[in-house]
Every structure is written in C-alpha cells, then in structure tokens.
Structure 1
Amino acid sequence: MADKLALIALESFSSQAKRVNEILCTWRGGDNYLIEASCPRFSSGEAKCVIEQSVRDKDVYIFVDVCNNSLKYQMDGEYNRMSPDDHYQDLKRVIAACDGKAARITVIMPFLYEGRQHRKIVRESLDCAVMLKELEFLGVNNLVTFDAHDPRMKNVLPLNGFENISPALQFTQALFAEYEDLKIDPEHLMFIAPDEGATERVVFMASLFGVNIGMFYKRRDYSHIVNGQNPIVAHDFCGGNIEGLDVIVIDDMIASGGSMIDVCKQLKERGARRIFLLSTFGLFLNGFEKFDKAYEEGLFTRVLTTNLVYQKPALLEREYYLNVNMNRYIAAIIDTLNKNTTMSVLSKPEERIRKEISKYTDS
C-alpha cells in the first residue's frame, strides 16, 4: 500500500496534518498525500462531509482533535463552539463519505474521545466503548491514540488495530535538550504520580531512568458530586524523602490544573528543588491564572505538553511553557503502518529512551 497513501484532516487538526504531510513527502519523495475534505453546515446546524478526491483502494488516515474548542459553527444566526461530540460526528461523516471504497481506514485521534470515563460504576453510559464499536461498524481498521487514560479500552476491539502511543521519548528528548544539569540518579531525581491513575506511566519512566517514585493519592468526598465527579478533599503523599531532589511529575492531561498546583505546593513543602510538570495533553480549561501565580511563587520550574491537541495562543507565550512537537512521530507512525512493518519500536520506545539517557549522562 506504499503508493496508495491518503491523508484526510478535519479542520480540528489541519495545521498539524499539513506539517505531517510535508514530512512524509520529504521522506518518501511524494508531492502531496493530503486529500481535501470539508464538513459544511446548514443554518439548522446539520452537516455533511464532502471529499474532493477519490479514495478508492487507498490507505486512508483521518486526523481529528476532539479537544479543539477554538472552532465555531453558525446555527440559527448564532455561533456554537465545537464540542468533542461535534468533532466526533464530523469524523463519522468523513468515514461515511469514503463510501466503503478505501482499502483501509485508520483514525488518528490523539485524545481518545470520552476516554476519561473508562468504566461503568453505576447505571451510566460508557461512551468511549460505544464510540469504538461504532468505528468498527463503520469499517475503521485501526485507531491510533496517545497516552489513553485507560489503555484497557483496547479490549473493546480485540480483532481491530488499537495503537496506544506513549510520548515518553519526546518528553525525554525535550527535557534533556532544555536542561543540561539534570543528575540522573536516586540521590538527585524522582518521578512523581499526581494520582494513582498515573502510577503506571511513572513506574515506566522511573525504571528506565533508574530512580525512585512517589505517588499522591486523591482523597475524595463520595457523599456528593460536583461537575460530574466526587470532589477532591486532599492529596496524600506516598513516597520517600524528596528534600533537595529534582522532581518530574507525569500525568496524561492537565484539565483545570488545580490538582497539579496542589501537588506542586506539597512537593515544595517537602523540600523539592525543581519541579517539572509533564503532561501529554495541556487543556488548561480554566485559563492560566493559577499557573501564572504558581510560577511566580516558585512552585514549579517548567510545564511540558505536546501539540497533539489544540494549544491556546496564550499558552505558547508563557515563559514557563515548553512545547513538545509530535509531528515527526505521527509521520513515522503513518509511514510504518502504511508499509505494514512492525510498530513495536514506536509504541514501545524503551530502547530509544535508554540510548537518550546514556548519551545525556556521558556528555
């Protein structure tokens, strides 16, 4: 399928997709793999997808960022912001417009739609699982996502491709490129999980770096629900002495940022030297006031997130922010899948991370 590659980008991911296309063209000697597609809307808010070129017998890769809330559409004379539901509906429209003619369809959805609600506890919907089954029904062969909140969601599609990619390599490279004075040993560095859900990510990184871990446990008030969840009463720390250590806090997303700031306060109270916040998805849903104030107070040193979801222009201007670009990695994933070669090197980058650490410590 190497000569049948086609990329379709929804507007939510169009700028990143253009750069991915340029990288692939450079690597493979092609002119352009992007196919023009649009989702125009009627004044009622209803929409359709129009694909401008044939996708017959092509290996199609469709990009969507369900978190891009910067886009709007007009309905009944007023403008509505695009929600994750709107983006997902447009994705289904693109798949439907392919008319079943594509040889293979892969959806690249960096932030897994509804992935934060990953299990049923009471009588409630499980939208992420429903989404995955819908995509299977629509003929999607593979789904590529990054740092899924719960990777066990892949069990919904036991016979379809589900690639859950970790950006750990890119975070390591970005941190090493920016800071030349990190000492990678248990006496100077520790990885921290801000909650129990992030423990697996932290254990993975700490084992490669050869350092210890700590974890915060979110104590919640289960007597009532606020904004769809039980409110956090306190963060309790489980771990050793961090006095004078550089600390790297890892999580899959920064939503409002309240938990991260509280974690930083507690780490500073325990004597942490520098605090680096690494998060795959920087949503910053309540703006940047909390982070600006925390940075001024010296609660953290740097925030690193990827460009896998929409980045607010104000975020890119922050002195404390470091952008981790994933465009080349996405291009490598597409190139690998299109050539039907193994994904293990990309989906499990342990060896490459070890090499980066060795190179850094030897320099």
Structure 2
Amino acid sequence: MFAQTPNADEKNAYCQYVKDVGDAEKTLDSGIEGFGRMGQSDTNPTLKQAVIGVSKSLSKHLQGNSAIRAAALECELYDHSLDVERIVKYKLPFIENQVTLQRITDLANVLSILDEEIAATEKRKRAGNATVADIVALTQQRMEIYHQYTTAKSEAAISQFPEIPQINVEQALHQVDDLTLELQEELNHKQALQAWDVSLVGGMQKPISGQPFGTSTGAQPFVSLTFTYNFNAASYKRKLENSTSSLMEMRRQQNDELSHQAFVLQQSISASLAAEKSVLPQLIEETNRLSSDLGSLREADSTEALRMKSLIRVSLAIAAMEAHLARFKITLLSNDYAQSQ
C-alpha cells in the first residue's frame, strides 16, 4: 500500500523545478542585451552624442549552459539521496507490512478450515459422536484466530508507504558523494565565469550637439569587440575551491549519517533474517509431526479419533501458516539484504 504521492512524482516535481530554474537562467544569460547612452563622446569631450546598440556576452552565454548542467546534476543528486532515505526509513516497516498482508490471506484460510471443522463437529454431535465441549473448544479457537485476522487487517489498513526503490544502497551512497562534488565543481565553474567576459557590441551613434571633427553629423553604425578581466580572478578561484572543501566537509558529515543509517538497516535486516532462519526448522518439524499424526489417524473413526483429527487438522493449518510466513519473510529479507550490500 503506497501513499497518494509516490516517490517518482516527488522526484519529477523537484527535478522539473530545478530544470525550469536553470532553463530560465540560461534564457536570460544567452539573450542579446540592448543598451543606450546619451552624453559626451569618449574621444571628443566637446561633442555630445546619442548611442544605441546591442551586445552579446560570451561569459554569460557559458554561464547559462553551466546552469543547465548544474540543474541536471542537482536533480540526479536529489534522486539518489531520496532513494537511500526512503530505503533506510521505510524498508523494514514495509517488509513487515507485506508479511501482515500475507498473514491476512493465510489466517482467512485457517478460518475456513475452522468453519469446516465446526460444521463437521456439530454434525457429529447430532449423531452422538461429539460433545458440546468439542464445539466450544473449536469456537473459542476460531474467535482467537478471527481476532488475529481483524487485528492484521487493521494494521494493514493504516500502514501506507511511499514507493520503495529497488537499488543497491552502497552504490547509491557512492553516487551521492560523487554527485555532491561534481555539482559543487559545476557551480564553482559557473561563478568563475563572472571574472572575465568577451562581448560583441554593435549599434548606431549620432551627434546631438557640438561639432564632430571630420565626421558626418548623421547617424553612424559601429561594431566592436570588448573584453574584461578581473585581476582577482585567480584569488577568487582559490576561494571558491576553499568553499568547496568546506561544503564537502559539511556534506560528508551528512552523507556519513546517511551511510550510518544504511548500515543500521543492514544490521537490522541481518538480525531479523537470522532470527527467522533459526525458527523455521522448528516450524517445519512441528508441521511434519502434525502431518504425520494426522496421517496415522486417517483411517480411525472412533469418537476420540475424530475429535483428535479435528484438533490436529486445525493445529496443522496454523503451524503450516507460520512456516509459510517465515519462508515468505526470509525471502523478502534475503532480497533486501543483498540490495543493502
């Protein structure tokens, strides 16, 4: 039973958000900028002119591309982190819930057998081969099994879980570490692009007062290639690298906590698996013993033999149910223990 908002929907919503933000940033950074200026000419202070034009920045264009790559990395990092968090938080309760759902089915089968035996015992009572005590004993046993059945159904009804990913936890943890570093390096690269720029500039300029020397008074086109460089760029890059080290130390502690939780899950699964495996032989032995006892009474038709066959059949159904549930849980735990390695 899963929650209404499954794991995949949450991942898709977050990834769509970060990708939309990255796409918006790329759209702005890759655009062509317009500009206008009115004032004194740089080359002739006595001349006032109006200038309009457009420019295209190489640095901003590259920053937009970097924003897209960073968004993809952040989405992937969130994906793997959420997978591991879901596993360590919900895996064992989810397994118990699956066992509970199977128990409901098995208890229903036991109740069906009890109903058959109660009906057969009532028929034998009418024939004088059973007593009221026999019926009461079976009825009380049915009430106990029915109580277990309703309790299991109530537990299953209130238990809801998000989608549990089927992944190798150890590999996912390594990917979280790698993606954390890769994302921060991409963000640093994007920041470092701000320290320089090469732009293509073009437009029109027209004198509005003063006398231009040897030039027309009409509007004139112009085009130029401009560049800028911040001489603190090398120092800025080193400080960004220092910030990466600080961030990675913080994230390493967070990832270590996630790794510890995954280790605790692995130990819990291992302990539960060992416990179920230790109990299963006893359940199988009990089932075989009851099956043998029932077989030995198969041809007997005395009142006491019929009563014993009825009791043994019910006990066999219960023992077989417990053995089946143990095998079922061992299968689930074994599969998840392999994934947690």
**Fold shared per TM-score above 0.5:** no
For the aligned pair, the TM-score class normalised by the smaller chain equals: under 0.3
Larger RCO (CA under 8 A, 6+ residues apart)? 2
Q: Which has the higher helix share?
A: 2
Q: Which has the higher strand share?
A: 1
Rg: which structure is higher?
Answer: 2
Q: TM-score, normalised by structure 1?
A: 0.19
